[in-house]
Amino acid sequence: MGLTDDLLRFDWTGVDAELQKKTEDAFAELRLTEEQIERVQRVFLEEMERGLDKQSESPSSLLMENTFLPELPNGHETGEYLALDLGGTNFRVMYLRIADGKVVEQDFQRFEVDEAHRYGSGEDLFDFLAGCVQSFLREKHPSGRHFELGFTFSFPMIQKSLDVGILQTWTKSFKASGCVGQDVVKMLNEALHRRGDINVDVVAIMNDTTGTLVQGASQDQHCAIGVILGTGSNAAYIERVDRVKKWDHHQNGIKEVVIDVEWGAFGDNGVLDFVRTDVDRAVDDLSLLVNSFTFEKYFSGKYLGEVFRQCMLKAHRDGVLFESVSEKLNTANSCTTKHVSMLEKDTIDGTGHHLEAVMEELQQAHSAADLVVLRYICALITVRAAVLVSACISVLLKRIDRDDCSIAVDGTLFKLHPRLASLMETAIAVLAPKHKFHLFLAEDGSGKGAALVAAVAKRLRNRK
């Protein structure tokens, strides 16, 4: 038995042996074998090294971006900051007060970024963001005082310093024009200053994984990895500067730096094709940005529902599920990650309670045997998600190679899925057997982390 089977342990009660076999055969490709898992680990490490290398001949699919963050909070940070969190369709403006390296007070407001702003011009998008900052301050902090702001920008960017971030490509649900190749800190600062009615300066930009790592480190001193399992997925970790070959700056004795892996794009150059299935190709074909973000599309929150829907359609075509498929189910993106989580809850507590609700939402007629097949599909795509993510985390653990290493995780997929965390714990322990680790939820890394990074940026500036 391999890791996948160990994690899966599926109870087929209610289905005859023939249907079980046909279903297992139909989805054999989604059950990662030991060799495939080992190859994912090997390829991930190779891609990491190529991404850090200055002279790589063929580009790595991992950006391995230098965040220019050489240290984590040391417990002495204090002050009041603003933070912005842009990554999903919700945008947050936050006020955070830090004392002794921890966030002790916070307040925030959420704004919806509608399609017109996500797909429109970059200038309009940043004017809209600046307007949200103004409306938050007008309501909560009308004094007109000056604020420094940490900007969590959860998209692939090339950083030139802690306060310069050049957008490489949009992902998830964004497509605003005139931003790719631009410094988004400059765009935001210009929009803030254009208004003339607020006194705010962006002092640091970071990815949400960096924020999560920093927030994690303020809770647990052994934290060296930050992971997001949400709409998208990615990780940041602490790397030795001497291994960051492409960073030819004068490094002033800096020994370590946080690297943003950008593993969402892992495999965009074909190196992961050995795990790609027809289901994954169908998910990609229907996505906003086709042929990119291969790894993320296997499991992250934005896509897992569609992976599930494509699996159901395949199961129907292969004659193991549903007599006919409802119009709703035939509609792209009609299933969400929430549906997968609901069915997984049934698997855990042995009921069919949520299944009925999901089928009703999808207006899908079904038999008792269908329900077992559906649960199997959800279990399988969940296990594949856990194995893929754990394979990458195990590589990071081995690379960091500390006696004890904590992994801070945030994101809706991680928080709302009923057993992803425990599957990952088991998988990581198998895949990095010699490395002691602790996986924990670092709630709101993209908010609290932004203020903490702004505070660290201030310390670094003062030191200069």
- The residues of the shown chain that bind ligand GLC, judged by CB under 6 A, are 87, 154-156, 171, 207-209, 228, 230, 232-234, 262, 264, 296
The kind and range of the H/E element at 114 are none
For ligand GLC, the nearest residue by Cβ is: 232
How many whole angstroms separate alpha carbon 150 and alpha carbon 448?
Answer: 10
| Comparison of 296 and 370: residue with beta carbon closer to ligand GLC | 296
- Quote the tokens at residue 209: 């994984």
Compute the least distance from the CB of residue 392 to ligand GLC, in Å.
13
Query: H/E/C letters for each residue in 246-286?
Result: CCCCCCCCCCEEEEECCHHHCCCCCCCHHHCCHHHHHHHHC
| Comparison of 149 and 236: residue with beta carbon closer to ligand GLC | 236
Compute the least distance from the CB of residue 207 to ligand GLC, in Å.
5
Neighbour tally for 402: CB within 10 Å: 13
Beta pairing partners, 106: 96
| Comparison of 73 and 156: residue with beta carbon closer to ligand GLC | 156
Compute the least distance from the CB of residue 438 to ligand GLC, in Å.
22
| Comparison of 208 and 346: residue with beta carbon closer to ligand GLC | 208
Q: In what order do the strands lie in the sheet with 404-410?
A: 65-66, 256-260, 233-240, 223-229, 404-410, 436-441
Compute the least distance from the CB of residue 237 to ligand GLC, in Å.
13
Which residue type, as a one-letter code, is found at position 425? Answer: E
Compute the least distance from the CB of residue 213 to ligand GLC, in Å.
11
Strands (DSSP E) contained in 116-180 are 147-153, 157-161, 164-167
How many whole angstroms separate alpha carbon 219 and alpha carbon 223?
Answer: 8
Which residue type, as a one-letter code, is found at position 189? Answer: N
Compute the least distance from the CB of residue 340 to ligand GLC, in Å.
18
| Comparison of 70 and 411: residue with beta carbon closer to ligand GLC | 411
Compute the least distance from the CB of residue 208 to ligand GLC, in Å.
5
Phi, psi of 36 (to 5 degrees): -65, -40
Find all residues with CB under 8 Å of 68, minimum gap 6, and list them: 159, 160, 161, 162, 257
| Comparison of 130 and 157: residue with beta carbon closer to ligand GLC | 157
> Is residue 35 packed enough to be buried (19+ CB in 10 Å), middle (13-18) or exposed (0-12)?
exposed
Closest CA to 446 of 231, 302, 170: 231
Output Rg (C-alpha) for the chain, integer angstroms. Answer: 23
Compute the least distance from the CB of residue 328 to ligand GLC, in Å.
28
Q: What is the DSSP letter of 28?
A: G
How many whole angstroms separate alpha carbon 119 and alpha carbon 108?
Answer: 25
Compute the least distance from the CB of residue 40 to ligand GLC, in Å.
18
Closest CA to 227 of 238, 235, 219, 239: 235
| Comparison of 160 and 345: residue with beta carbon closer to ligand GLC | 160
How many whole angstroms separate alpha carbon 44 and alpha carbon 237?
Answer: 14
- 340 with 417: CB under 8 angstroms? yes
Active site residues: 92, 154, 208
- Quote the tokens at residue 62: 């991992």
How many whole angstroms separate alpha carbon 277 and alpha carbon 448?
Answer: 38
Which residue type, as a one-letter code, is found at position 82? Answer: L
- Quote the tokens at residue 276: 């790609």
